Amino acid sequence: MSNDEFEISHYINEKKLLESLDSKDFIENISEIGFRCDMCARCCTGAQNDHVFLLEDDTDRILKIDENSIYPSPLLDFSDQFGNFYVAGYALKTSENDEKSCIFLNSENRCKIYDKRPLICQVYPYMVFREPDSKGKIDWRYFAGLGDHGCYNLYLSEEELKEIWDITIKYEIDYLNHEINFRKYIKEYFENNNLNFVKRKHAEFVRKYNSKKNKNRDVSEEPIIYVYHRNKFEKYIE
Ligand code: SF4
């Protein structure tokens, strides 16, 4: 087993890079894009975004609104040798319609919890995130779904650009802190409980879980999902 199977050093490194990043490049880039939301609400659907991941403050705030609106992050980050899953946090449930709309999107395509919406919803479609391009070159990405939604080439004032930078960088740092805390916690939890994470087995467990998920589920045979929240694992019960 590697010493860093939970990739803690990767997340610490990303955080260092993020904290040393100058806002200039981001601001120039998003100013050039000149995006404004046209309220198409596509970003609030599974068709455009896989899931809405919640940071811990989001989870606690949203639980007060509707305790049945969240479920474990579908990324199923880790598993133990018994096939139980351990995930970094909760996500918002979606409706059963074709678009897989967020549970809080109303029939007029408006957010029912707008003032209390998750931080990622306040930030999207902006991001400050490193990932490889089609040729494998890793670089900063600042905008999601270019051309798929909204209006472009519009004027954004200096004040607006600065506000976008401030909230986006806050989200990204909060997110990385959350991942680092989760990964440190699970490392210790696995060590203390004689549990093992094996990447190859994990891929098999995920495949098996996803293939069974929608077909005549026998819940009693399903793996347990443990969700990291406020420095402990919560056992998820549907
Ligand atoms: S919480 Fe609101 S803004 Fe966020 S995805 Fe759901 S409907 Fe959209």
* 86 in a structural domain: yes
User: 3-state DSSP helix/strand/coil percent for the chain, to nearest 5?
Assistant: 40, 15, 40
> For residue 108, is pLDDT > 60?
yes
* 36 in a structural domain: yes
Lowest mean pLDDT among 126-140, 141-155, 206-220: 206-220
Cβ neighbours for 79, distance < 8 A, ≥ 6 positions apart:
85, 86, 197, 201, 202, 205, 206, 223
Tell me, in angstroms, the distance from the centre of ligand 1 to residue 70's CA. Answer: 12
pLDDT at position 221: 72
Between 219 and 79, name the one with better pLDDT: 79
Residue 110: give the domain boundaries: 8-235
pLDDT in tens, 32-88: 999 999 999 999 998 888 899 999 999 999 999 999 999 999 999 999 999 999 999
> For residue 216, is pLDDT > 70?
no
Alpha carbon nearest to ligand 1 atom 8, residue: 44
Tell me, in angstroms, the distance from the centre of ligand 1 to residue 121's CA. Answer: 6
* Cα–Cα distance measured from residue 161 to residue 215, given in angstroms and rounded to the nearest whole number: 47
The percentage of residues in the chain with a pLDDT greater than 90, rounded to a whole number, is 85
Alpha carbon nearest to ligand 1 atom 1, residue: 117
Q: What is the mean pLDDT of residues 175-184?
A: 98
> For residue 141, is pLDDT > 60?
yes
> For residue 213, is pLDDT > 90?
no
pLDDT at position 217: 60
pLDDT at position 133: 86
* Cα–Cα distance measured from residue 121 to residue 151, given in angstroms and rounded to the nearest whole number: 18
* 45 in a structural domain: yes
pLDDT in tens, 117-130: 999 999 999 999 99
Residues with CB under 6 A from ligand 1: 44, 52, 92, 102, 104-105, 111, 113, 117-118, 121
pLDDT in tens, 97-107: 888 999 999 99
Tell me, in angstroms, the distance from the centre of ligand 1 to residue 43's CA. Answer: 8
* 3 in a structural domain: no
> For residue 162, is pLDDT > 90?
yes
CB atoms near residue 23 (< 10 Å): 15
Average pLDDT, the chain: 94
Tell me, in angstroms, the distance from the centre of ligand 1 to residue 112's CA. Answer: 8
* Cα–Cα distance measured from residue 146 to residue 137, given in angstroms and rounded to the nearest whole number: 19
> For residue 219, is pLDDT > 70?
no
Domain count of the fold of the chain: 1
Residue 41 alpha carbon, nearest atom of ligand 1:
8
Alpha carbon nearest to ligand 1 atom 2, residue: 111
* 2 in a structural domain: no
pLDDT at position 215: 61
* Cα–Cα distance measured from residue 177 to residue 88, given in angstroms and rounded to the nearest whole number: 11
* 181 in a structural domain: yes
* Cα–Cα distance measured from residue 138 to residue 131, given in angstroms and rounded to the nearest whole number: 5
pLDDT at position 218: 62
Cβ neighbours for 65, distance < 8 A, ≥ 6 positions apart:
113, 116
* 186 in a structural domain: yes
> For residue 30, is pLDDT > 80?
yes
How would you classify the pairing of strands 85-87 and 78-79? antiparallel
* 1 in a structural domain: no
